[in-house]
Structures are given as C-alpha cells and as structure tokens.
Amino acid sequence: MSFTDILNRYDWEDVTASIYAKTKDDVKRALNKRKRDTEDFKALVSPAAAPFLEQMAAMSKSITQKRFGKTVQMYIPLYLSNKCDNHCIYCGFNKGNKFPRTVLNEDQILKEARVIKSYGFEHVLLVTGEAPRECGLDYFKRAFELLRPYFSLISIEVQPMETDQYRQLMDMGLHSVYIYQETYNRERYGIYHPKGKKSDFKYRLETPDRLGKAGVFKTGIGFLIGLENWRTEAFFTALHLSYLEKTYWQTKYSISFPRLRPHAGSYQPSHPISDRELLQLITAYRIMDEEVELSLSVRESKKFRDNAFQLGITSISAGSKTDPGGYSNPSSSLKQFEEHDERSPLEFASVVRSKGYEPVWKDWDPCLQ
C-alpha cells in the first residue's frame, strides 16, 4: 500500500467542508488533548481557530523548546541548474520562459561551495530544475564527489527518482530529500503542471514511499501555498505525514511552507494566505506533531522570519540565492523566485543570537545514531 491508496479514500470538497464546519469547541478540545490526530488538526487550521492564535503560538513555542531547545538549524540551497523540462505555470524555471539557462560545471560548483563554506555552513541543499538529461544521477554523483570535502551532509531538492537511485546517492553521503507535491488536489493538479514528467500526479505523490524504502535519513514534504485552499492542502499534508511516520518510522520528516513569490512569468496566486494565517498553520503543525522539523525559507519577510523561529520553526535558510552561480558570480541568470529576506547568513545568525537562540550550522541528528 502507498499513500495513493490513502488519498483515494478522501474527497477534496468533503474535507474542505469538514474543516469549515469546525467550531470553537472543537478547537478547545484539540488544544486540551495530550495527543492530537488529523481530525484535531482540521480544527486547528479552521477559521474557528483564528481567535486562539495567541494561545496556539504560546503552546507551539513551549513544545518546540521542549523538543529542540533554543536552537535554530541554518541551511542554504546551492542551485546547480535552472534548466527544466516541466511547464509549471507558477515557477520561474518553467521551460516556456525565455531566459538564459545554466548547468554549473565542476569549477563553478566548487566556487559556489567555497563561498557557502565561508559563511559557516556545514551542510548544503542541492537544488535543480527537473531536467534529467542534463542533471541526472551521474551529474549528481559527480557533484557529491566534489562537495563532500566541503560539507558533512548533503541534501537534495531535485526531480523524483527511483528507489535504487536514491540508494546509490546514499552510498555517497545523501542525507535528506525534499519533494513537494505542490498541490494534493488531484482534479486540479494538471492545470498547474500541463507538460513534463511532473504532470504525473501519482509518480510524484509516491516519491516519499520510495524514499522510505530506500532508507533516506530525512524526507521533506509540503505544498505550494497560494495554489489551492491552504487549509485543505494542510490537512492532506498532515495526513501524508501521519502515514509516512507510521509506515517508515525510522525516517525523520520535515514540513516546509513555500509561499508563492514573484518570478519570471505572470501567474498570480488564487488562494493567498496572510501572515497571521501562515503563523496559524505553522503552530497547528507543531501542536499536532512535536517531532517534525518545520522549515522556512527566504520567501518570507524579515519581520515574519524573526518571529517564526521562536514560535515553531526549527530550520531556516539565510543568504539564499535562487539562481545557479548566484553566490560566486551574481548575474541576470534566471531565478526560481525573488528572495524576500536578503540578509546574509551572519546577519541573520546575529538576530537569532539576539533573541536568546543558538544558530546551528550542521544537522547534528545523524551523530546521535
């Protein structure tokens, strides 16, 4: 059985109606329980929970400090390529966008690595568009060989692959894989992904199953905020997380909160989310699951990020560049999206310390195994 079998039991509209039918009493019950399930999560992301945000934030902060202490794990993406075979209408890497495309060569990869290392990072997240001919398994293997002398841990956010391919990269030091469904709305998925391998809803949906079978240390999931109703998307992401934690219990998990940002192209989000609602979403996940890593990128504003890591976020990027070569050779190369918080890693780390927290530059969990 895969998550597809679980998802097929649910109707999108029925779930949406169920969330909006939640009452203040449902929210109170969820907050007062010692252990919450996905039905409680519906209440926590419902409109009825809005008046409880202050209480949710305080609870989320307490739970986070109990499990993670006053630490913030720092991460940074290294974009290897902006080539992509997909036509996702919301992404700057859309194959139809006519901008310069780049695949970093070995010298360029090393230049980027040296700059990132100079910031203090001990692990790196490799990101590409989905263009397997130019950036396939062999390319990733060579990138790992080049980067392992610089970083203790290497993670990837690239096209979905097969179980055996993940195992091959694990043999070379692969630590985590981040793979976002973008939307769990099967009926509308094709609207956003009209062409390319990513248009295969089921293959993408079952990628975390393949990762679990491969034994990858950590898997990151999530949805793109702005495509569909965020409350309904959040429920299906929580359902996916619950399934994965029960099925592949030895794997650690991460939830990210990518909100649509300006990019090459004209797509505008049809389901925007306010900062207050995003905070409700973050705290709802933390209250439901105290073990899961909650991650935030530079898509968000300085003010929001400076508060979020105190209220539930445990992993946060800083100084990110979303174009290949952007650290060592800033240019007009095509970006995936525009960064909102442009502070350097050291500037952000200083803010973290000023709040009484400690920035962590390396994922120390593997050392405990």
**What's the CATH number where 256 sits?**
3.20.20.70
- Count of structural domains, the chain: 1
* Helix, strand, coil content of the chain in percent (nearest 5): 45, 15, 45
Number of residues written out for the chain: 369
Say what the alpha-carbon torsion angle 153, 154, 157, 163 is, to the nearest 10 degrees. -100
Helix, strand, or coil here: 80?
coil
CB 125 within 8 A of CB 156: yes
Contact by Cβ (8 Å): 212, 246? no
Q: What are the pLDDT tens digits along the chain (369 aa)?
A: 889 999 999 999 999 999 999 999 999 999 999 999 999 999 999 999 999 999 999 999 999 999 999 999 999 999 999 999 999 998 888 888 888 889 999 999 999 999 999 999 999 999 999 999 999 999 999 999 999 999 999 999 999 999 999 999 999 999 999 999 999 999 999 999 999 999 999 999 999 999 999 999 999 999 999 999 999 999 999 999 999 999 999 999 999 999 986 544 556 778 989 999 999 999 999 999 999 999 999 989 999 999 999 999 999 999 999 889 999 987 655 555 565 788 999 999 999 999 999 999 976 554 444
- Structural domain containing residue 319: 3-368
Residue 114: Cβ within 10 Å count: 12
pTM of the model: 0.94
Q: Is there a contact between 287 and 31 (Cβ–Cβ < 8 Å)?
A: yes
Nearest CA among 347, 341, 317 for reference residue 155: 317
